[in-house]
Amino acid sequence: MLSPENQDSDITINNEFPKPVCGDENITDTYYKVVVTDEDSLERVKNNFCRDAVVNDGNIQVATFRDLNRAQELQRQLIKYFNQVKITQGVIDTSPDPEPVYSPVPQRTVNSISRSEAVDLIERWLKAKRDIYGPSYQTYLGEELLTGKAYNDKIKRSDGQESSSEWLANNGAYYIYGVQRIDSVNNFTSSGDQATVDVVVTEERTLYNSQGKIDQKNSAFSTSLVRYNLENDEGKWKIANSRTVKNLVRR
C-alpha cells in the first residue's frame, strides 16, 4: 500500500494552499524555519503547499515565520505527506561583523544522558502514545521523541509499507490507554551518543476498530521487560529502537 507521500494525486489540501508565499517577510529578530528533509520532494512541496520553497543544504526550506504557532501549523499540514518536517529556530544578527579570529576547530562533544533523563524520555514516550496512537493520530509528536528505526517503524516508514501509526489511521483504528507506568529500571549504560536502558513497563491498552468495537486479540494489560536503545540526534536524546525482552504478565 502506498502512503500519501508516494502519490501526488493523494494530496488533498484545503483551499488555503498552494500559496505563492507562505512565510513572513522582513524578519529582524527571532525566526522559525519550516524544513522538509528530502530535497527530492521540492516540486511536490511547491505544487501543493508553498511555491516559494527552495532547496538549501540538501533540505527544502518551505517557509520562515516570526511566530512559532504559525510554523507548527504548517508543520502539521506537511508532516501528513512528507517523511520528516522540522522546525529550526534562529536569530537574525544585525550586529557589525567582528574582526576574524583564527583558532583551532574544537572537537565535537556529546552531552551524555543520565539514568533519570533516560527514564524521563521513556515516560514521555509512553504518554505521547496516547495521542499518537489515539483517535487524533498526532504523529508529529513522535519526531521529538523518536529517531532511526523507532521513528521508521512507529511513525513514518520510508519503504512504502505502513508504520504502526499509519496502519491505525488507514484502518480507522485507535488505542485507548489506561495504566502506563515504569515499575523498575533493571539496567542502564551510556557511552558517547548511545545509551541502553532496560525497564519493566506495565501498560493497559485497548484497541478499537473502525466500528468502535474492541479488538480483544490486540488489547492487553501487560507487564514486560523492555529494552530501549537511545541516541543523541543532533544534540537531542531520542529513542532509536525498542524491543520486548520478556513478557512478565499478560492478561
Residues 115-250, CATH architecture: Roll (3.10)
Amino acid at 60: I
Digit-coded pLDDT (tens) for 28-49: 788 899 999 888 888 988 898 8
Average pLDDT over residues 15-35: 84
Measured CA to CA, the distance from residue 19 to residue 21 in angstroms comes to: 5
The grid coordinates listed for 249 are 504478565
pTM for the whole thing? 0.57
Buried b (16+ CB within 10 A) or exposed e, 93-103: eeeeeeeeeee
How is the chain split into domains, by residue range? Answer: 4-91, 115-250
- The pLDDT, as a whole number, for residue 5 is 40
Q: Which three cell numbers stand for residue 76?
A: 502539521
**How many other C-beta atoms can be found within 10 angstroms of the C-beta atom of residue 40?**
9
- State the chain's mean pLDDT as an integer: 88
Q: What angle do CA 120, 123, 128 make, to 5 degrees?
A: 125
Across the range 208-223, mean pLDDT stands at: 95
With cut-offs at 50, 70 and 90, classify the pLDDT of residue 83: confident
